[in-house]
Amino acid sequence: MLLLAFISLATFSISLSGAFVWDDILLISKEIHNLSGLSLFKSGGLYYRPVVGVTFLWDFLIWHWNPLGYHLTNVILHTLCVLLVFQLTSIILNYHLNIENKHIIAFFTAALFAVHPIHTESVAWISGRTDILATLFFLLAFMAYILFRQERRPVALVLSFVFFLFSMGSKFIGISFPVVVILYELILNRDRKGALLGLVYVIPFFFYLAFRAGSFHLAERVVRLSLKGMTVAHFIQLFFSSVWFYLVKAFWPFPQNAFIGEVPRFYHPVAGVMLLVVIVWAVVKMEGRRLVGFWLAFFFVTLLPSLVPVYIKVVSTRLAERYLYLPSIAVCFLVPYAVVSL
């Protein structure tokens, strides 16, 4: 654990000398302002990220406008995610895979997650902590859920609800968590009745919707304007081009790009086909096929919310490397798992 923390801190310590960039100061000021009064429990805009605002307020109270403190928080949060990736991977391997070297797989999964270049934007850009925080609480919610399933502790399920709500309160990508729970039950536990437990997460989700009720009218108008005139063929083409883009980026992030304004019509199609062949081979040939299937499903399910900007003009970057922060956990697991299993 200490070695993983050191690897993470050493990898991104260079970002501590960074300054505020782009709209950092504007976004930080806005998030802190949104914490005032009842705005914490009501959203009139397209974004609702009170958890992010709390961390910015904490940084501001300690560091004021010294960017060092804000960067330090990002690096620490990333390191916490690295440690949670190790813990979650260890738990899943212990419960669902009967092979030696499980601790090696878990360690290198977390180590690869710690140093993966695709995380540069999320960690080095102060405003990119939204993905880190959403992932942090996503992992905590998942671990609490597994604890509930294994030991039947109601308090663990309540904690999972709370962490799920915090994940959505950090960024909308947390909404994919109930689907991951259902996949976990169907693929790894092979429990169809257990999969129904994923539906109980509608309880915290309704709380989230209640907080966001003020933004529905604006969101409906933005969606309508963004999709106006889009054909079904174009919709499908954007989907597959975006998915291939992210799939290839997760395995080979170079060259890196902080601003991707348009969806490439075709993104390394040969590389995409090769990856698809490798994935199919892995599912068919490797031991622990259910484990491989689960993490592949995890990648695509957690990526889906980040495809929204491809269709709806909520940000200037229709694609972004930071959107792979949470889905990349699957890739970081599959690579060392494949090496050990060969």
What letter represents residue 143's amino acid?
Answer: M
Nearest 5 degrees, angle CA 124-CA 141-CA 253? 35
Global pTM value = 0.90
The DSSP H or E segment spanning 301 is: helix 289-303
pLDDT of residue 192: 85
Closest residue by Cα to residue 303 from 330, 276, 335, 265: 330
**The pLDDT of residue 38 is above 50:** no
pLDDT of residue 1: 85
Q: Which range has highest mean pLDDT (163-177, 223-237, 240-254, 265-279)? A: 163-177
Task: Tell me the pLDDT tens digit for each residue of 290-337.
Answer: 898 899 999 999 999 999 888 887 777 889 999 999 999 999 999 999
Burial of 327 (0-12, 13-18, 19+ CB in 10 A): buried
**Higher-pLDDT residue of 133, 313:** 133
pLDDT of residue 67: 96
Q: Percentage of residues in the chain with pLDDT exceeding 90?
A: 54
Average pLDDT along the chain: 86
* CA–CA separation, 278 and 275 (whole Å): 5
